[in-house]
Amino acid sequence: MATRADSKRGATVTRLPTARNSDTGEIPRKASFGRRIRKKFRLFSVRAGMDLPFFFLVLTLMVIGLIMLFSSSYAYAYYNYGNSYYFIIRQAGFAVAGIFIMVAISYFDYHHLHKLAIPILLVTYMLLVLVLFMPERNGVRRWIYLGPVNFQPSEIAKFALVLIFAHLISINFKRMSTFRYGVLPYLLILGSIAVLVLLEKHVSATLILVALAGVMLFIGGVQLRWFAIAFGVLGAAVAYIVLFSAKFGYASDRISGWLDPFGTTVDTWQTRQSLMSIGSGGLLGLGLGQSRQKYLYLPEPQNDFIFAVVCEELGFIGALLIVILFAMLVWRGITVSLKAKDKFGMLLGIGLTVQVGLQVILNIAVVTNTIPNTGISLPFFSYGGSSLMILLAEMGVVLSISRTSTIEKT
């Protein structure tokens, strides 16, 4: 300990010894502060560990989804491709790659997505415009083809919308009650994306985007009167379409088929076969692999209507257990997100989790003819490699958020 005399006051000042580097003798300046900064902005880190219940729920649904995909698709695959394993081999490969991606992203610090929100939105706009120039498939343009791989830009649009909304709301959280910061920018972003997706004739994706935007704005603190106005406009639009559906051609057929699925005025073959599959399953089902409707009666059973095969083979009990697993996944994801350490993580996690829940609800509603038939895939179950990988990547973001969440992770 060293001392020195103060020349002006004659007092003795005691200086505490300063830690020095034993090798160089240099005094480390703000070392601990520097370590905190580097740790905060580290691109990849373990942090407090990911949420294991959420992780295992994803894996459980993934495994069940692969089993049901194979069961529902092998007859169709053999008839059309001469290989019963055509779909399952490809989906399993994408699933394995997607799980690796999910785990890798879970180590990625989600705060860096703040800087990527606007670039990802701009890339999404480019893809949504590009897809309009792609070749038609079944009368619609939804896929961009890159050799043997194709993907739907609308899947990326869902993530981009959630990300940009989380980014802007977290920045303007205290001003969300105003029209300029709480309504206008989100209305412009949602409107522009929705118009481009509608041009693809992808109504189901548009519905999901609108619902996602509404959930995030509600959590963000937008005043309720704007929701009342939005519901009024939406209700008037739906009523107009129903009352004057003859003017809308494509939409008219869907509505007519929904109101009378066993009628003869429009082609409702897929809906009919779906309802017969569900009905024949009964309480306990016909048994795994024993579906009859998948033998070329139900069109493309590995895609949007795979839940009908689930009901037929596993029955009401099996289908209910799967719905419960989805509900547990959504509940856990929202719980993890609510305990995130910042508003950005909370909004981002809730948005990505709610997206899964919305798709499940809408898919089951279509399969059971609760709403008009429109193409909505069932997460983790429906065939589609690129969609599955995007979904697993989004689950990886939720797991990344869980690494700093204060929730118990075991």
Q: pLDDT digits over 202-230, tens only?
A: 888 888 999 999 999 999 888 888 888 88
Beta-bridge mates of residue 150: 145
Q: State the pTM of this model.
A: 0.85
Output phi, psi for 52, to 5 deg: -70, -40
Output phi, psi for 108, to 5 deg: -75, 130
Structure letter (DSSP) for residue 19: P
Q: What is the pLDDT of residue 83?
A: 94
134, 196 in Cβ contact below 8 A? Answer: no
Q: What is the pLDDT of residue 235?
A: 77
Beta-carbon contacts of 60 under 8 Å, excluding residues fewer than 6 positions away, are 325
Q: What is the pLDDT of residue 222?
A: 87
369, 254 in Cβ contact below 8 A? Answer: no
With a cut of 50, which residues of the chain have pLDDT below it?
1-39, 247
Q: What is the pLDDT of residue 236?
A: 80
Q: What is the distance of C-alpha 159 from the center of its chain?
A: 6
Q: What is the pLDDT of residue 180?
A: 87
What is the H or E stretch that residue 96 is in? helix 86-106
Q: What is the pLDDT of residue 140?
A: 78
3-state helix, strand, coil in the chain (%, to 5): 65, 5, 30
Write the single-letter amino acid at 244.
Answer: F
Q: What is the pLDDT of residue 143?
A: 86
Q: What is the pLDDT of residue 24?
A: 44
